[in-house]
Amino acid sequence: MSNPWTKKNPLMSMWLSAANRTMGAARGQATGAAKRQAGAMQAEAARQIVDFWSGKTTLSASRRKTRR
């Protein structure tokens, strides 16, 4: 008598293939988003460093003195 647990199941194979394809696409999207966010953070940090060392300091609108 053959073992039923060792037989191939085409439905399970198709389901796992679809799940693997979906997870691969989601992983690709997450990796791309993380890389874009890291690039933006590096650009902002570089801008802040240049602004600091060039003496370009700005006060936010709430800290500016206004005439009353």
| pLDDT given at position 3 | 82
**pLDDT tens string 7-39:** 888 888 999 999 999 999 999 999 999 998 999
Task: Give Cβ neighbours of residue 57 (< 8 Å, ≥ 6 apart).
Answer: 51
Please check whether residue 51 is in contact with residue 57, taking contact to mean a CB–CB distance below 8 angstroms: yes
| Average pLDDT score over residue span 51-58 | 78
Q: Kindly report the length of the chain.
A: 68
pTM here is: 0.52
Sign of CA pseudo-dihedral 12, 18, 21, 22: negative
